[in-house]
Amino acid sequence: MKLHFLGTGAADWDIKTRQPEDTQWRRFSSTLVDDKLLIDPGPHIFDYAEMTGQLHLFDNVTDIIITHSHQDHFNCQNTLKLCSGGRNCRVWGDMADLRKLYRVLGEDMTIDFHPVTPGQKFTAGGYKILPLHSNHATTDKDEITLNYIISKNGQKMFYGLDTGWFRTESWNIIRKAKFDCMVFELTMGDIAPGNKRIFCHTSIPMLEIMLQTLHAQGCMKPGCRSVATHLARYLHTDHASTRERLAPLGVDLAYDGMIYEF
């Protein structure tokens, strides 16, 4: 699989104030898989395509999967744009995502939406996808935030944005898998204990503990690649320092525009 990171930041980045020379700047997190499967149609994705001279970047997208309805991950107008113009594009997500589409788009809501349920597999664009209930805060009491296990041609990837520690029911599925690649969220850096975000996001010490457990339980195949994304602007140091901090853990650090293959 090929992962194209369109954005690698958390919600505290101001995506409207980027300076062209600022190589440390991050858009909101979004990933394109094999140019066909888009994870999280955020508000910045067309800006990314324009700024990088890739105006046809989304021409082959057939399916969109949504992790949750927060504005940095899910933009209704961009979703409609991706699914219009004669393209047969399907959207997969929680019922909270569907409610948001109707609330924002109203009569323009013509999207081919498919609700998903944690623990129930579905097929989209040739990928076998298993949604998992993530550990993330939401103001919608009925919303189920999601992580995903994505498989194709014998390869299996875990995509874990946004979440803190794995929920028990999700871990019971993860621990039985054998991954070729794991994409972790890393909203927090080396923050001091006591930060309230540990209950819905991940820090570097938390990631280290999870990696130890994943390796010990045999969840990661030999040669399994792991990469961190979704970094908060004010909870991390610069990119180079964070990359150096993650190197002993065997974790790569994503940046906007990064192509990652496994």
Q: Residue 193 sits in which domain range? A: 2-261
Place of tokens 């788009």: 105
Quote the radius of gyration of the chain (alpha carbons, Å): 17
Three-state DSSP at 169 gives helix
What is the phi/psi pair of residue 3, to 5°?
A: -105, 130
Q: What would the two tokens of residue 211 be?
A: 């990696």
What is the phi/psi pair of residue 245, to 5°?
A: -65, -35
pTM of the predicted model, to two decimals?
0.95
pLDDT of residue 20: 60
pLDDT of residue 164: 94
pLDDT of residue 85: 79
Judged by phi (left if over 0) then psi (alpha if -120 to 50, else beta), residue 146 lies in beta
pLDDT of residue 24: 82
Domain total in the chain = 1
Sheet containing 30-33: order of strands: 112-115, 90-93, 63-65, 37-39, 30-33, 2-7, 259-261
pLDDT of residue 21: 60
CA distance 135 to 170: 9
CA distance 17 to 44: 12
Chain-centroid distance of CA 73 in Å reads 8
pLDDT tens track of the chain, all 262 residues? 999 999 999 999 988 776 666 668 899 999 999 999 999 999 999 999 999 999 999 999 999 999 999 999 999 999 999 999 777 899 999 999 999 999 999 999 999 999 999 999 999 999 999 999 999 989 888 899 999 999 999 999 999 999 999 999 999 999 999 999 999 999 999 976 778 888 899 999 999 999 999 999 999 999 999 999 999 999 999 999 999 999 999 999 999 999 999 9
Burial of 53 (0-12, 13-18, 19+ CB in 10 A): exposed
Report the alpha-carbon angle 117-119-124, nearest 5.
Answer: 65
Q: What would the two tokens of residue 246 be?
A: 């993650």
Place of tokens 């440390």: 24
Question: What is the CATH classification number for the domain harbouring 9?
Answer: 3.60.15.10
CA distance 123 to 109: 23
CA distance 40 to 32: 9
End-to-end CA distance of the chain: 6
In angstroms, what CA-CA distances link 2 with 32, 36, 121? 8, 10, 21
Burial of 56 (0-12, 13-18, 19+ CB in 10 A): exposed
Q: In the 8-state DSSP scheme, what is residue 199?
A: G
Place of tokens 């323009």: 108
Instruction: Compute the half-sphere exposure of residue 43: CA atoms within 13 Å on the CB side of its CA.
Output: 13
CA distance 10 to 28: 6
pLDDT of residue 76: 98
